[in-house]
Amino acid sequence: MSQQFAVFGTPISHSLSPQIHAAFAGQAGIDLHYVAIEAGPADFAATLQAFADAGGVGANVTLPLKQLAAELASSLDDRAKCMGVANTLVRKAGGWHADNTDGIGLVRDLTDRHRLDLRGRRTLLIGAGGGARGIAPALLDAGIGALFIVNRTPEHADTLADLLGQPGRVHSRYLGDVEALGEFELIINATSANRGGTLAPLPRSLVGRRSVAVDLSYGEAAIPFMAWARATGCHDAIDGLGMLVEQAAESFKLWHGVRPDTNAVFAALSGHAAALVTAD
């Protein structure tokens, strides 16, 4: 019988995770069944329990459930514990064990696939929710320079900055004050606001000669930020597809003990996306 895995979130029908994990399983010769399950904060606990009762042994978690996933877990890896968010769950004898592979997935995509040197880069992180919390520690570990966190709700930015515990290096600001911050070499959009097709106005003054813009989203959700990045002259504009594949590979490794080849899967997904854009 196939092992049961799933990704939980809302909305979730667009998720490429089932396709990615099917490809990984084919590489490794592993028989698994991976599906997307719609769940919101109100019903996630019950839905996750039903999944476990039906034989579920591993899960990925996306918006808006990453903090709740950490709260529901019986044990947490350090990566999930320090920020209070999880994107990967592993079924253990005592319940769910939570981890977070978002940060390592993003850094691996930027440094290995896109050949970016992150060391010393003055970085702007837009957003302070579950996505931002998942990647911020890994960015600091990768050697970025000063990190400025901006958010519409300044208290959320303050909370994330406090959690990171590096006051001389990490700074929180209100999103409305972003124009006064000057140029950044790395600009990361970790908000979900652009899923509705709207993006808070961002000034051109953020962009310098070597600025790289990164959106944690992919597909249609990333279009507004990618359009802004290209229009303002960013040196590179990178969406979240590569991060998605890399974090999935880290989850796969946690579940099965083997890390798959991500390049082949990323190339296939990129070709599919390009074909859709050409068709439009």
Q: Does 253 qualify as catalytic in the annotation?
A: no
Catalytic residue among 66, 81, 92, 253: 66
Say if residues 24 and 75 touch (Cβ distance below 8 Å). no
Q: What are the catalytic residues?
A: 66
